[in-house]
Structures are given as C-alpha cells and as structure tokens.
A and B are shown apart, each in its own frame.
Chain A
Amino acid sequence: MIVDRPGSHFIFVVPFDHVHRGYNYINLNGIPLTNKEYLECWGKWLVFGQRDEMEELARKLDLFVENRKVPAVKYDRKLITEFQLNRCVMCVYCHTESREDVWTVLSSLNLKDKAWMFERETMEKWLPGGVNLEKWISGRNLGSQQAKLVRKSAQEKFRELFKDENAIFTGIVQ
C-alpha cells in the first residue's frame, strides 16, 4: 500500500501487513535481520525520475510489494533543491541476496539504469565527515558550534541505534 503522509518528505510503498499487522519487511526468508545483518546486507536499487514517473512506478510496484516480491519502496515527494539534484530518487529496498530478483521485477517495468547501494553506505554519508551530513550542515549555514553539535548528535544517534549488533533491527523514523 502507498503511505503518503504529508508531513514526510518521502512517500512509501510498504506491505499492508506492515502497516496494520506488525509484519517486518526487513527480513530474509521471513527471518528479521539483526542490526549487524541490516548494515551488511540490506540495501536498495536507486531509481531516478520526475515526480510523475515516480508515482506511476510506485503504483506498479505496489502489487509486487503486496506479493512480497519487493520488500519496500520510498521516493521523494519533491526535488531536494538544496542537494542540487535534478531528479527525484526512488529507493527500492531488499536484501543483497535477492537484489537480482528485485532487479528482474524492475527491468520488467522497463527500468534500465542499475545502481545498488547498501544501507551502510547511506548511514556513513550521514555520519560526521560524510557527504550528506556535511552538505546538510553547509546548506543551513550553521556556525561551527552548531555544526559540532549536529555532528555529535548524528554520531550518538547512530551508535545508539546499532549498539547491540545482535538485536533485531527496528527501523528508522523518517
């Protein structure tokens, strides 16, 4: 089902059971991933397009998400102008072991441009010194003290989230 909360930058496509019955789509063969497994194995195919293209693709992917051929999808509600991207980005999530199966689904929908990214890579971009966090800081013209606090907060948040590598990964609020 498509989850469109106006307060969020992202629009999600997740299984109905995830929203209403506590189903955890971050799994491999039905077994939820630990924090360690999440960082090592979970990732996404990146798809670029205009907002209307994203919407159309999301509608098509919804069926595959409900059938659990594709675990989950999220895409940009609008262009992130401060990041100087000229396309919206869609993330089509899955475990690395099933990524070619998921790509087969995507290619059946005429997608051709392959770009796979692990979630760990994304996390690292939001840590101090990471491309995303530093760009976010500079985009807001934060003073050095504020920037330092933001970096410290990002580091602590990451540490807290993944401190128990054997715990089941519980997700990140977005």
Chain B
Amino acid sequence: MNITVTLNLLGIPLLDVKQSRMTLTVEEKMTMADLIDLIDQRNPGFKQVISDEDGNISKQFVFFINGRNISYMKGMNSELSQDDVVNVIPAIAGG
C-alpha cells in the first residue's frame, strides 16, 4: 500500500533540488533513510550534500516528522505514515 507524505526544505539554500516543498507517494512504512534515497534518485546529489565525509547524514541538518526531531524517534530508521510531514532545517537555525 502506498502513502502520501510531504517534504519541506526550510531555509536551506544549498540543496540543489527542484522544489523546496514536495508531496511524495511512497511505500507504507518507508523509513527516513529510504525517503532520502528516493529524493536522491529524483534529485541526484541530494544525499551527498546532506551527508558528511563518512557518508552519514550530516549534523548540519535536522529532520523532523510532524514537528518532532527524528533523533528523539528512531533516527533515520523512523518510519513514515500517511500524511506525515517531514521538515528539514539547517542545524544552525534557531540559535
């Protein structure tokens, strides 16, 4: 079964993506890591930009599902549900 999720890139100028807000139809229980792979397929280079030198997701970005920082959930293994909203912000924001 497929679900619909929304991704917003907030305040981030460096990510070379076609849109800063996108609605995506994805497989149910897709994880954040899977979502990033999917976006990377559609926007080649996306993953590289948000990754650090070791290939891990950079601490320069913070990911939220429905307003909640995924580091308080299962990190990149956090699963997505119908109508979830994923917001990505620069870690520098709010300081």
* A interface, CB within 8 angstroms of B: 44-46, 48, 80, 83-87, 89, 91, 103, 112-117, 121-122, 125-126, 131-132, 135
Within 8 Å CB of B30, what residues of A?
A: none
Q: Is the pair A48, B10 in contact by a Cβ cutoff of 8 Å? A: yes
| Complexed CA–CA distance, A85 and B15 (Å) | 11
Q: Confirm or deny: B22 has a beta carbon within 8 angstroms of a beta carbon on chain A.
A: no
Q: Please, what's the 1-or-0 string for B55-95, where 1 marks a CB less than 8 Å from any CB in chain A? A: 00001101010111100000000000000010101111111
Name the one of B10, B14, B94 contacting A113, with C-beta atoms under 8 angstroms. Answer: B10
Q: Is the pair A85, B94 in contact by a Cβ cutoff of 8 Å? A: no
Within 8 Å CB of A117, what residues of B?
A: 62, 69, 94
Within 8 Å CB of B93, what residues of A?
A: 46, 48, 85, 89
Contact A85:B13 (CB < 8 A) given known A113-B8, A113-B87, A131-B59:
yes
CB distance from B63 to the nearest CB of A (A): 9
Interface of B: prevailing SS: loop
Q: How many chain B residues have a CB neighbour from A under 8 Å?
A: 23
CB distance from A13 to the nearest CB of B (A): 16
CB distance from A131 to the nearest CB of B (A): 4
Q: Is the pair A114, B85 in contact by a Cβ cutoff of 8 Å? A: yes
Additional 18 contacts, C-beta under 8 A, given A85-B11, A113-B87, A131-B60: A44-B94, A48-B11, A48-B89, A84-B13, A84-B14, A85-B13, A85-B90, A85-B92, A86-B12, A91-B94, A114-B68, A115-B67, A116-B69, A125-B95, A131-B59, A131-B92, A132-B92, A132-B95
Within 8 Å CB of A48, what residues of B?
A: 10-11, 89, 93
| Complexed CA–CA distance, A113 and B64 (Å) | 10
Within 8 Å CB of B64, what residues of A?
A: 114-116
Q: Is the pair A86, B67 in contact by a Cβ cutoff of 8 Å? A: no
Name the one of A83, A113, A114 contacting B92, with C-beta atoms under 8 angstroms. Answer: A83
Q: Is the pair B62, A115 in contact by a Cβ cutoff of 8 Å? A: yes
Within 8 Å CB of A46, what residues of B?
A: 10, 89, 93-94
Q: Is the pair A115, B87 in contact by a Cβ cutoff of 8 Å? A: yes
Within 8 Å CB of B89, what residues of A?
A: 46, 48, 115
CB distance from B53 to the nearest CB of A (A): 14
